[in-house]
Copies of this chain bind each other. A is one copy, B any other.
Amino acid sequence: MNIQIQDPAAERKTPVERQSIEAAVVRFAGDSGDGMQLTGSQFTLATAVAGNDLVTFPDFPAEIRAPVGTTFGVSTFQINFGSREIRTAGDRLDVLVAMNPAALITNLEDLRPDGLLIVDASAFQDRNLKKAGYETNPLEEDDLDRYRVLALDISKLTQATVKAVDGVQVTNKEILRTKNMWALGLVLWLFGRDVAPTRQWLGVKFAKLEDIATINIAALEAGFAFGETTELAHNVHAYEVPPAKLDAGEYRNVTGAEGICWGLATGAHLADLPMIYCSYPITPASNMLHILAGMTGGFGIETFQAEDEIAAVTAAIGASYGGALGVTGSSGPGIALKTEGIGLAVATELPIVIVNAQRGGPSTGLPTKTEQSDLYQAVFGRNADCPLVVLAARSPGDCFTMAVEAVRLATKYMTPVMLLSDGYIANSSEPWSIPEVAGMTPFTAQTNVVPDNFAPYMRDADTLARPWVAPGTPGGIHRIGGIERSETTGNVSYDPANHQTMTDLRARKIANIAHDVPEQDVTRGDGAGDLAIVGWGSTYGPIGRAVTNLRDEGHKLAHIHINNIWPLPRNLGALLANYAAVLVPEMNNGQLVTLLRAEYMIDARSLPKVSGKPFNVSEIEDAAREFLGETS
């Protein structure tokens, strides 16, 4: 094959003609040190500002700083953007930027045939090739013939650019570190995006390092100019992706971690409570601790980095007991450690929110990969009959909504609420129509009001919640504890009939919440048909896309996406009965499906995927087709 290494001095070409496309999937892949996450975020920003809908998927190596050039040190950032509604980060890549051989070998298989491959040819040296496991230089073989390849000596191009900048005092290493900006510039050009937001961001980021700011901006602009001015290979087109039809409003990008933190803060405000977030670092939940620790500007939020997860959950219980909103967040193994503590919150009927950013398991498993395999743990994973509320967020923006809802339910019903997100949602981002907190209806929780004829386990007739009277409240002295309590008085009771009553009350209180949460809607499609694809959590995107595609083909199927995992929506059983078949794609070995079968006696079938990666749309389509009586 004949790879054309572009010369920066190539001739100016004819004005760009941009091919208009509906959507595109781009992935930046490089060494951990290559700054791919920054590159991706900046491309995302420019794309969002250009009015596209989008979904991103950052994927980091498990190692902190893996040796340069290794396959396990590759870091990637993927973005799917378009003028239509975007629901996933995309199955197949339209453009792959590979900054070294390791990035190429680990990512190439996701590039669609005839997709555009941009490689930094300068990194394809013997040492790097060997580290990546290449025997020969792939750029010199014809395995890449199925793609459109743009192999550029980005090192040389960057160096040339920066050398042209006057008066900066930088090392060659510093120059080479700007390669990512050069590549970003080129891709920005490719899609007709503006470099201005990135330029501005670089100015702020390197405010104290003026020279570094200058050379990064120079590289960025050079990459862009390279696209603009150089005659690229005949088969490399420039594209135009028109803005999406989004609802009017103010938008921003939001990650799931941000969505949850801001939702918790908003929930605490609506409940008129200070919030104490108690956590022990663990991937991918740590981000929430970082974000909340950073919210120091008077939000009434305190963070407590506990000595372990047991201390985290029990400190959250102590905080709620003390009249604040106690929140704890972790991931699978950490949630496992909280199990006993959560039982105390159920027994004493104190409100806490437990956020689980799920990851691959069992045990340490795949800490940096996504999975949604903690549903069993959330619903069933405690000793004894120990019911609580389980909610799941379906997207970064939905994280905000569900976090507010978690606070509402916890404080209204005096119960722990487990909110499930996952590694994918936590880190990926999407444009988000920013809500107006000022316009939201408060659901004030009072912790210093003593009801008439107070008893610690007296109950609200509607909610079955007991009163929340924090120590320090005049006239409210009482004692609570984990031993079974006498109905109403809360005194220790070993009475058999009382234990039955209390067990029933605990179960009924949670079950009743089904009347206070929305009925299950049909996310996409009609209320009856040949097939319902039922999902929860971050499978929202791929299921939605698959159902849209198949409906476009004329199939009678629907997408039903569940946010209320426990209690399940009150109409769900009846709704599911309207479909000839029910398929449940899950990034686990079939957990929601167990719940649906047990609850509704519906022969729901599982489509499990446990690879640490989100579903591809096609995987769901293929499985659905089998139910729809077709082989694809």
Residues in chain A within 8 A of chain B (CB atoms): 62, 72, 310, 332-333, 335-337, 339-340, 343-344, 346-348, 358, 360-369, 371, 373-374, 376-377, 379-386, 481-484, 494, 496-497, 499-500, 503-504, 506-507, 588-589, 591, 594-595, 597-599, 601, 603, 609-613
Q: Nearest-CB distance from A435 to chain B (Å)? A: 32
Q: A497 — nearest CB in chain B belongs to which residue?
A: B611
| Contact assessment for A384 and B362 in the assembled complex, using a CB-CB cutoff below 8 Å | yes
Beta-carbon contact of B610 and A385 below 8 Å: yes
Q: Are B371 and A384 in contact (CB under 8 A)?
A: yes
User: In the complex, what distance in Å separates the CA atom of A557 from the CA atom of B28?
Assistant: 66
Q: Is A340 touching B343 in the complex (CB atoms < 8 A)? A: no
Known contacts A336-B339, A339-B337; decide if A611 and B360 are in contact (CB<8 Å): no
Contact in complex: A384, B380 (CB < 8 Å): no
A selection of 19 A-B contacts at a CB cut-off of 8 Å is: A333-B343, A336-B343, A339-B381, A343-B362, A347-B361, A358-B383, A361-B386, A371-B384, A376-B380, A381-B383, A384-B588, A385-B588, A497-B611, A499-B611, A500-B610, A500-B611, A503-B589, A597-B598, A601-B603
Selected contact of A361 from candidates B376, B385, B597, B609, CB within 8 Å? B385
Query: What distance in Å separates the Cβ of A107 from its nearest Cβ neighbour in chain B?
Result: 13
In whole angstroms, how far apart are the Cα atoms of A377 and B383 in the complex? 6
A363/B346 in contact, CB under 8 A = yes
Tell me which residues across on chain B come within 8 A of A335, comparing CB atoms.
383
B340 touches A611 (CB 8 A): no
Chain B residue numbers with a CB within 8 Å of A496 are 369, 611-613
- A589 with B385: CB separation less than 8 A: yes
Q: Which of B363, B376, B383 contacts A336 (CB 8 A)?
A: B383
Q: Are B366 and A484 in contact (CB under 8 A)?
A: yes
The distance in angstroms between the C-alpha atoms of A612 and B384, with both chains bound, is 11
With contacts A373-B384, A507-B589 taken as known, whether A499 is within 8 angstroms of B612 at the C-beta atoms is: yes
Structural contact, B484 and A365, CB atoms closer than 8 A = yes
Other-chain contact of A384, B374, B382, B497 (Cβ < 8 Å): B374
Find chain B residues with CB under 8 A from A597 CB: 597-599, 601
Distance between A359 CB and nearest chain B CB, rounded to angstroms: 8
In the complex, what residue of chain B is closest to A502 when comparing beta carbons? Answer: B610
Residues on the B chain within 8 Å of A385, using CB: 361-362, 373, 588-589, 591, 610
Contact B503 A364 (CB under 8 A): no
Q: How far is the CB of A338 from chain B (nearest CB, A)?
A: 9
> Is B362 in contact with A346, judged by CB distance below 8 angstroms?
yes
> In the complex, how many angstroms separate the beta carbon of A382 from the nearest chain B beta carbon?
6
Q: List the B residue with the shortest CB-CB distance to A369.
A: B494
Contact of A364 among B482, B603, B612 (CB under 8 A): B482
Known contacts A340-B336, A343-B333, A384 near B364 by CB under 8 Å: no
Among A335, A365, A379: residue with most chain B CB under 10 A = A365
The CA of A234 and the CA of B575, in the complex, are separated in Å by 69
Q: Is the CB of B343 within 8 A of A609?
A: no
Query: Contact: B610 with A503, CB < 8 Å?
Result: yes
* Extra 6 A-B pairs, beta carbons < 8 Å, given A362-B386, A365-B384: A358-B383, A366-B483, A366-B494, A368-B494, A376-B380, A377-B383
Complex: how many Å from CA A362 to CA B380? 12
Question: Which of chain B's residues has its CB closest to A383's CB?
Answer: B332
A380 interface neighbour in B380, B481, B603, Cβ under 8 Å: B380
Q: Which B residues lie within 8 Å of A611 (CB)?
A: 496-497, 499-500
Contacts of A72 in B (CB 8 A): 494
Are A362 and B377 in contact, with the CB atoms below 8 A? no
| Distance from A518 Cβ to chain B, minimum over Cβ atoms (Å) | 25
CA gap between A502 and B133 in the complex, in Å = 24
**Most chain B Cβ neighbours within 10 Å, of A72, A348, A484:** A484
Measured between alpha carbons, how far is A383 from B591 in the docked complex, in Å? 12
Most buried by B among A343, A386, A483: A386
Chain B residue nearest in CB terms to A62: B494
List the 5 closest pairs (A to B, CB-CB), nearest first: A361-B384, A332-B383, A496-B611, A347-B363, A364-B482
Residues of B within 8 A of A588 (CB): 384-385
Q: Which residues of B have CB within 8 Å of A603?
A: 601
- In the bound complex, how far is the Cα of B612 from the Cα of A362, in angstroms? 33
Report which of B340, B376, B494 forms a contact with A333, defined as CB distance below 8 A.
Answer: B340
A60–B182 alpha-carbon span in the complex (Å):
77
- Of chain B, the residue at the smallest CB distance from A386 is B362
Most buried by B among A382, A588, A599: A382
A362 with B376: in contact, given A597-B597, A598-B598 (CB under 8 Å)?
Answer: no
Q: Which residues of B contact A497 (CB under 8 A)?
A: 611
Contacts of A386 in B (CB 8 A): 361-363
The answer to whether A374 touches B383, judged by C-beta atoms less than 8 angstroms apart, is yes
What residue in chain B is nearest A506 (Cβ atoms)? Answer: B362
In the complex with contacts A500-B610, A598-B597, A484-B377 CB distance below 8 A:
no
Question: For the complex, what is the distance from the CA of A384 to the CA of B589, rounded to whole Å?
Answer: 9
Across the interface, name the chain B residue whose C-beta is closest to A61. B494
Q: Which of chain B's residues has its CB closest to A594's CB?
A: B598
Chain B residues, CB < 8 A from A374: 383-384
Bound Cα distance from A72 to B507, whole angstroms: 27
State whether A483 touches B601 (Cβ < 8 A): no
> In the complex, what's the smallest C-beta–C-beta distance from A252 to chain B, in angstroms?
31
What separation, in Å, do the CA atoms of A328 and B310 have in the docked complex? 21
CB distance from A94 to the nearest CB of B (A): 21
Q: By the criterion CB–CB under 8 Å, are B383 and A333 in contact?
A: yes
- Inter-chain contact B369/A376, CB cutoff 8 Å: no
State in angstroms the CA–CA spacing of A384 and B379 once bound together: 13
8 Å CB contact of A373 from B339, B360, B383:
B383
| Bound Cα distance A390, B114 (Å) | 52
- The residue in A347, A371, A499, A506 that gathers the most chain B C-beta atoms within 10 A of its C-beta is A499
Contact B500 A609 (CB under 8 A): yes
Would you call A483 and B365 a contact (CB within 8 A)?
Answer: yes
